[in-house]
Chains A and B, each alone.
Chain A
Amino acid sequence: MNTPPDHSLRSDPAGTPKSVSGSTTTAAWLAEELAAGNVTSVEVTQRHLDRIAAVDGQVHAFLHVDAEGALEQAAASDARRADGRPLSPLDGVPIAVKDVMATKGLPTTCGSRILEGWVPPYDATVVARLREAGLPILGKTNMDEFAMGSSTEHSAYGPTRNPWDLARIPGGSGGGSAAAVAAYEAPLAIGTDTGGSIRQPGAVTGTVGVKPTYGGVSRYGLVSLANSLDQAGPVTRTVLDAALLHEIIGGHDPKDSTSIDAPLPDLVGAARRGAEGDLTGVRIGVVKELGGEGYQAGVLARFEESVDLMVAAGAELVEVSCPSFVHALATYYLILPAEASSNLARFDAMRYGLRKYPEGIEAPSAEEVMRATREAGFGDEVKRRIILGTYALSSGYYDAYYGTAQKVRTLISQDFAEAFTHADVLLSPTAPTTAFELGEKVDDPLAMYLNDLATIPANLSGVPGISVPSGLADEDGLPAGVQILAPAMQDDRVYRVGAALEAALIEKWGGPLLDQARGLEGASA
């Protein structure tokens, strides 16, 4: 190990001689440097594009990089700043966007062949808000096809690799966003979370991921997987960065009828307050059903350590029981395929996306073209879930499957409501294991589905959750995460408690967890 680790974007991200405390570049720090005039957005953006050019051949976090567009947006940001008119606290800080979000003029594939080459004529609201806030968009990140998966191996364009160990998965479906942030290819990213697709990749890559309250961030322009579960949110390296980004993308949007028409809580304030490290008076509830059997020993050890640190910071520990959570996975795998099979019916080869004519049929009908296109354009996991959803919704089975699942969903929400009378936040490991090896579970759907065991209840009930890195599992030296859940519309609680835990852990480690990542050692430009 003679090659020194590549810290080019860690201690010196902006090409300035100034270092940052803890050696990790954060979006908050970049924003300060930009505001102080120590660096320009063009410089910061170019450094990230250089980093992408240097390491993305190994990581494959990006499906599309827009160097020209990002630098143009960065130059516009610098011009605004020179005029004293920055648009937001993150004006000029570049960002990566999961390829499930419509981006005007930039390809949007959802990791699927059926959308190969599609360029949306409009922006998702989240993307429009990033542009209005002045964040240059570096590119689009890889994902499991239509967000179906926990490993990013179901992308039609090849898997993303975990920057901690390139032989391992980065989680999914938003493995591209998490890996880009973990590999310092982007200081910030947007993810989407239907059953854990922001939080689980966060846990296995040592990054922070937030699933906001359902309806807290607009779904307009987010290609739907399961409408009643999908939620976009921040993917970052610190809790404060997530809060800063959440405040930019969140809030009511008239274009999304499920958007909450109420102001966001003070998320940045909550993160700053949490970072002071005092949790006196906060009741933390460990969910009995989310742990134990099926969870890796090293993941549980890091979780218990995190709980101890929160108690040391003044939190009051209570154990809570949510008995219906054991049914969450089965409930989810009925509701999700049902909604997905209906949503994906829009890919009919008529108005946009792939059109494939069947072989051997002269003048085929629209229906025959649709069948051939969907066969050619969808991957295995998408077909599995469409068939499963079609089954669950078909007459004769509807009540037994979809109807029952909707009732159990009610029980899960009732468990949350009861638990939140005893605790201000609920805690569990984010994912039951650390990152597994590529190929290990790709053809065993049930084994793959178990990765979302702990994250799914929050989606079914619409409550917000964060995953904060909890350290490395002893047995494999790979990152694990702690999940913190709060009642709907109380997203500030996950930021306060998450920032307090993060501060305690960084003090214990002597620096950010990502400083210990060695998967890209020697991969310097």
Chain B
Amino acid sequence: MSETSSSGPSITRDEIAHLANLARIDLTDAELDHLAPQLSVILESVASISGVADEDTPPTSHALPLTNVFREDVVTPGLTADEALSGAPEQEGQRFKVPRILGDEQ
């Protein structure tokens, strides 16, 4: 925590390009220029919570304490293949048709 607050968390254009790559978004140069200062300001603001909670505070991942939920293993009606494919950008032979997923060398 201390390293992020002491360095005054800022985010560079290169870091944003890297994050956009991880998030699979082809950001334009103009967007990268625009986002870097905006995200730095936001990060600086949200970093204010570092140090608010002590080590022993348990994290909350969910609003209500719920345990896993099971159902009976019985068949219930679902979508037909045609319904499931109704929004597909492309389809072939009752399957989703997608662009190639392997590279040339593979």
A interface residues (Cβ-Cβ under 8 A, vs B): 118-122, 213-215, 228-229, 254, 257-258, 260, 324, 327, 330-331, 333-334, 341, 345, 348-355, 357-358, 363-372, 374-375, 378, 380, 383-384, 386-388, 390-391, 394, 397, 399-401, 403-411, 413, 445-446, 459-462, 488
Are A121 and B84 in contact, CB atoms less than 8 angstroms apart? yes
Contacts A352-B88, A367-B24, A368-B99 given; indicate if A324 touches B52 (C-beta within 8 A): yes
Q: Once the chains bind, are B26 and A358 in contact (CB under 8 Å)?
A: yes
Cα-based distance from A400 to B41 in the complex (angstroms): 17
Write the nearest CB–CB distance from A358 to chain B, whole angstroms: 7
Residue of B50, B96, B103 with highest tally of chain A CB at under 10 A: B50
B87 with A352: CB separation less than 8 A: yes
On whether the beta carbons of A397 and B4 are closer than 8 Å, the reply is yes
Contact count A vs B, C-beta below 8 Å: 181
Check A404–B50 contact: CB distance below 8 A: yes
Which of A118, A345, A410 is B60 in contact with, Cβ under 8 Å?
Answer: A410
A462 touches B63 (CB 8 A): yes
Instruction: Assess whether A375 is in contact with B87, with CB atoms less than 8 Å apart.
Output: no
Q: Quick one: given A365-B100, A384-B38, are A374 and B63 in contact (CB under 8 Å)?
A: no
Give the distance to chain B from A153, nearest Cβ to Cβ, in Å.
16
Contacts of A122 in B (CB 8 A): 79, 83
Q: How many angstroms between the C-alpha atoms of A404 and B99 in the bound complex? A: 40
Q: A358–B28 Cα gap in the complex (Å)?
A: 13
A-B residue pairs, 9 tightest by C-beta: A462-B63, A352-B87, A406-B59, A355-B89, A407-B53, A121-B83, A375-B26, A214-B63, A409-B60
Q: Does B93 contact A (CB under 8 A)?
A: no
Contact of A333 with B60 in the complex, beta carbons under 8 Å: no
Contact B63 A460 (CB under 8 A): yes
Q: In residues 51-99 of chain B, which contact A (Cβ within 8 Å)? A: 52-53, 57-64, 66, 68-69, 71, 79, 83-84, 86-90, 96, 98-99
Provide the bound-state CA to CA distance between A305 and B19, in Å.
Answer: 49
Q: CB < 8 Å: which of B35, B43, B69, B101 contacts A383?
A: B35
Complex CA–CA separation, A327 to B47 (angstroms): 10
In the complex the two chains form, what is the Cα distance from A108 to B22 in whole Å? 27
Measured between C-beta atoms, what is the minimum distance from A490 to chain B in Å? Answer: 13
| A310 CB to nearest chain B CB (Å) | 27
Determine how close the nearest CB of chain A comes to the CB of B99; give it in whole angstroms: 4
Q: Is B31 an interface residue (CB 8 A)?
A: yes
From B1, B19, B25, B90, contact of A371 by CB (8 A): B25
Knowing A401-B46, A404-B1, A445-B42 are in contact, say whether A413-B60 is a contact too (CB < 8 A). Answer: yes
Q: Give the distance in Å from the alpha carbon of A363 to the alpha carbon of B103 in the complex.
A: 11
User: Are B103 and A365 in contact, with the CB atoms below 8 A?
Assistant: yes
Distance in angstroms between the alpha carbons of A380 and B96 in the assembled complex: 29
**Chain A neighbourhood of B25, CB < 8 A:** 371, 374-375, 378, 383, 386-387
Determine which of A119, A341, A397, A405 lies in contact with B49 in the assembled complex, contact meaning CB atoms within 8 Å. Answer: A405
Distance, CA A372 to CA B22, complexed state (A): 14
Residue from A331, A357, A407, A488 in contact with B64 in the complex, judged by beta carbons closer than 8 Å: A488
Provide a sorted-by-A list of 7 A–B residue pairs whose CB atoms are within 8 angstroms. Answer: A345-B24, A348-B24, A364-B99, A374-B24, A375-B28, A401-B46, A445-B41
* Shortest distance between the CB of A220 and any CB in chain B (Å): 13
Report chain B residues within 8 Å CB of A257.
66, 68-69
- Min CB distance A156 to B, Å, is 15
Contacts of A348 in B (CB 8 A): 24
The answer to whether residues A214 and B49 also contact, given A119-B86, A351-B87, A446-B42 and a CB cut-off of 8 A, is no
Of the residues A387, A400, A459, contact of B23 by C-beta under 8 Å: A387
Q: List the A residue with the shortest CB-CB distance to B68.
A: A257
Chain A residues contacting B96 (CB-CB under 8 Å) are 350-351
- Contact call B90/A355, Cβ cutoff below 8 A: yes
Query: 1/0 per position for B9-40, CB-CB distance to A under 8 A?
Result: 00100011001101111111001000100110
B26 close to A365 (CB less than 8 A): no
Is the pair B16, A349 in contact by a Cβ cutoff of 8 Å?
Answer: no
Residues of A close to B20: CB separation below 8 A: 383, 387
- Distance A391 CA – B47 CA, assembled complex (angstroms): 13
Residues of B near A378 (CB, < 8 A) are 25
* Closest chain B CB from A257 CB (angstroms): 4
- Measured between C-beta atoms, what is the minimum distance from A417 to chain B in Å? 12
Q: Which residue of chain B has the shortest Cβ distance to A458 in the bound complex?
A: B63
Determine the chain A residues whose CB is within 8 A of the CB of B99 once the complex forms. 357, 363-366, 368-369
Compute how far the CA of A351 lies from the CA of B84 in the bound complex, rounded to whole angstroms: 9
Q: How far is the CB of A163 from chain B (nearest CB, A)?
A: 31
Residues of A within 8 A of B58 (CB): 407, 410
Q: A161 to nearest B CB, angstroms?
A: 26
Please state if A390 and B50 are interface contacts (CB–CB under 8 Å).
Answer: no
Distance between Cα atoms of A410 and B38 in the complex (Å): 28
Q: Which residues of B contact A213 (CB under 8 A)?
A: 64
- Whether the pair B46, A333 counts as a contact (CB closer than 8 A) is yes
Residues on B with C-beta less than 8 A from A118 are 87
Decide yes or no: A254 and B71 within 8 Å by CB, A394-B19, A460-B63 being known contacts.
yes
Shortest Cβ gap from A113 to chain B (Å): 13
* Contact partners of A350 in chain B: CB under 8 A: 89, 96, 98
Q: Which of B4, B11, B99 has the most CB of A within 10 A?
A: B99
Roughly how many angstroms separate A334 CA and B11 CA in the complex, as a whole number?
15
**A390 to B22, alpha carbons, bound, how many Å?**
8
Question: Are A391 and B19 within 8 A (Cβ)?
Answer: yes
Nearest-Cβ distance from residue A464 to partner chain B, whole angstroms: 11
